[in-house]
Every structure is written in C-alpha cells, then in structure tokens.
Amino acid sequence: MSLSETELLNAYRRMKTIREFEERLHVEIQTGEIPGFTHLYAGQEAVAVGICTDLTDEDYIVSTHRGHGHCIAKGCDVPGMMKEIYGRQDGLCHGKGGSMHIADVERGMLGANAIVGGGPPLAVGAAIACRNRRNGRVSVAFGGDGSCNQGTVFEALNLAVVLKVPAIFVFENNGYSEHTGVDYAVGSHDIAARAAAFGMPAEHCDGSDFFSVHAAMARALAHCRAGGGPYAIEAHTTRFYGHFEGDPQLYRAKDEVRRQRETMDCLKRFRAVAGEHGIALAALDAIDADVLKEIDAAVSAAKAAPPPAESALLTDVYVSY
C-alpha cells in the first residue's frame, strides 16, 4: 500500500514528535521534576509509526514500559501524555498511571504496561473482540526482544494461532533487555522464527526504516483482514538512551550509540529518501519547527498544571462498590 504525500508527512510528523518528546524528557528529567523512572523510545520511532500509520481508532494496540512512542503513533494527545508523565490531574490517566501506564482507550490504546510480557495475552483478547465484530480491525501487541522469553508471550502466540484471530505481534529488537544482550537471552537468536514456529507467518524488517516497517505491516494487515489469523514482525532497531533514564550503560560499547545515531536514525533515513517519494525537505523542516513548538508548549503546560487532589486517591478503584 503506498501512502499519499499527506500520509507520509503525517508519519514523519509523528516520528519527529516522538523524537522531540523523548529528547526533551531526557533533558527535563535532569531537573528532578518528573517523578518515577522513565524509559525513552528515541531511536525506535519508525517501528511505532510504521506499524500504526494504517491503523484507526477501532484497531487496538497494547504497549510496554517503553510506551511513549506507541502512544504518540496511535494518536494519543501529546500534552495529555506530558501531563501524565509529570503526574498531573488532567494527565491522560489523571496522574494515577505515569509514564509506564499511559492509556487512551478511545484511541484504541489499551495501555502501556510495566510487566514485561503482560501485553500480548491482552492483545489476543482484543483480537477476539475484533474477530467477533467482523469489522476488519486488528489488535497489535508491541513487545521488546526481552519480552519474547516470557511464558505469557509463548501462550499468547499459540492461543492466537489456535483461535485464528487478527493479532499482530510486533517484536522490537533493540539489542538489549535491560543490561543483557539479545544474543545471550534469546537462545535461538531469531524471534521471528520463534513466532513462525507457533504457526503464523513472521518476517524481519528494518526498524530504522519507516518504509520497511510500513511494508511489513501492510502484509500483516492484509493477512489478518483476509481472515488468515495472527502475524508476527521482528523489527531490528536500537535505543538511543539507556534502559531507563540514569542507566550508565556499561554493557554497551563506548561509541555504539554515536555510530547508531549516524546510521540508524529513522528521521535521517526518511529524509534521505524523501525526494523519491515526492516529499520536499522544506516541508520536513517546517514540521520540525512546528513539533519543537508543540513539545515546548506541552512541557510548559505540564509544569504549570495542578497535581491531583488528594481525594482522587480513593476514586476509580471500582466502577461501583
């Protein structure tokens, strides 16, 4: 499926928004104003956006502890996200969730998840809902390379095949789970092959290339919408920062990130081929400037926003009790 100029510009805008959001958080976290601990998605933008570009609000995604990119790609309100990360009353989850629990069900975003492997079974459930509604919608489970070693993920992969539901398992292989390299932790070294062994089509794609991810996702969507059951994609990517903010990254070669910022930056790579897709660099420059302003405004608004009232502590445990 080839994308229109507007769609391509939107995709670039989302990737740039994620990048700027995360680069800015990296700076703001140093001030100590942001509570808790934060996992940045910078470096992986092409995966979230390549996967979500053709999704609608009726399609579902489940996310991970590294969820900011998935949220933005799925259309979550950016100022609302920023406020949530600052723990503010009118954050997307009223300050109760924080960075690792941003959710926006109206956008089909069923939540970031701080339990590694917690998401894929949820995605299978949402895929059952999609199948039963027969509306051509799909459910996407994002997970890292580390998550593929969790029993819950194995169970979800098999269940999706058994039930033949439109679930798409996206494994973002960024080379590390916390401080452990993927070649150590994933015994077979091939996550897509592992998914395939459960009985679904699975493919690798270049996670720093929006077009590569988008093409893989187009095949996945066609397969799911034709009633073919689940599909898996392993996207090879990298993270530009530590596992969480404050990680000294002793496990990583000294100049690894610097090199990867040169060769694996999805924004640079998008720009490099923009002309072939009829996109003028000036249009991208204009987006860059816009996004900078938006993120600036989101940070200022979040800083100025009021915290939740103490009474909110006791609400929302149940619908009724």
Ligand X SMILES: Cc1ncc(C[n+]2csc(CCOP(=O)(O)OP(=O)(O)O)c2C)c(N)n1
Q: Which residues bind Mg ion (CB under 5 A)?
A: 144-146, 174, 177
Q: DSSP letters of 4-49?
A: PHHHHHHHHHHHHHHHHHHHHHHHHGGGT-S-S-----TT-HHHHH
For position 119 contacting ligand X by CB under 6 A, the verdict is no
For position 151 contacting another protein by CB under 8 A, the verdict is yes
What's the closest the beta carbon of residue 117 comes to another protein, in angstroms?
7
What's the closest the beta carbon of residue 185 comes to another protein, in angstroms?
4
Q: Which one of Mg ion, ligand X, another protein, none is in contact with 299 (Cβ closer than 5 to 8 A by kind)?
A: none
Give the Cα separation of 116 and 242 in Å (integer).
17
**At 60, is the secondary structure helix, strand, or coil?**
strand
What's the closest the beta carbon of residue 75 comes to another protein, in angstroms?
22
Residue nearest to ligand X (CB): 144
**At 306, is the secondary structure helix, strand, or coil?**
coil
For position 273 contacting ligand X by CB under 6 A, the verdict is no
Task: Determine how many CB atoms are found less than 10 A away from the CB of residue 76.
Answer: 21
Q: Which of residues 13, 19, 65, 223 is near ligand X by CB under 6 A?
A: 65
- In this complex, which beta carbon is closest to ligand X, that of residue 115 or of residue 226? 115
Q: Which one of ligand X, another protein, Mg ion, none is in contact with 186 (Cβ closer than 5 to 8 A by kind)?
A: another protein
**At 225, is the secondary structure helix, strand, or coil?**
helix
Q: Which of residues 4, 132, 250, 262 is near another protein by CB under 8 A?
A: 250
- In this complex, which beta carbon is closest to another protein, that of residue 80 or of residue 166? 80
- In this complex, which beta carbon is closest to ligand X, that of residue 186 or of residue 202? 186
- Angle CA(74)–CA(151)–CA(144) in degrees, nearest 5? 35
Q: Which of residues 269-288 bind another protein (CB under 8 A)?
A: none
Strand partners, 168: 140, 231
What's the closest the beta carbon of residue 115 comes to another protein, in angstroms?
6
**Residue 117 burial by CB count (10 A; 0-12/13-18/19+): exposed, middle or buried?**
buried
For position 115 contacting ligand X by CB under 6 A, the verdict is yes
Q: Which one of another protein, Mg ion, ligand X, none is in contact with 276 (Cβ closer than 5 to 8 A by kind)?
A: none
For position 145 contacting ligand X by CB under 6 A, the verdict is yes
Alpha helices by DSSP H, listed for 86-209, are 119-133, 151-163, 182-185, 191-197
Q: Which of residues 21, 60, 176, 211 is near ligand X by CB under 6 A?
A: 176
For position 251 contacting ligand X by CB under 6 A, the verdict is no
- In this complex, which beta carbon is closest to Mg ion, that of residue 73 or of residue 127? 73
**Which residue pairs, CB below 8 angstroms and at least 24 apart, start in 220-223?**
220/138, 220/168, 221/54, 221/138, 221/168
Select from 128-136, 209-217, 245-253, 294-302 the region that touches another protein (CB under 8 A).
245-253
Q: Write b or e for each residue in 3-39: b if 16 or more Cβ atoms lie within 10 A of its Cβ, otherwise e.
A: beeeebbebbbbbbbbbbbbebbbebbeeeebeeebb
Give me the residues that bind ligand X (CB under 6 A), please: 64-66, 114-117, 143-147, 174, 176-178, 243
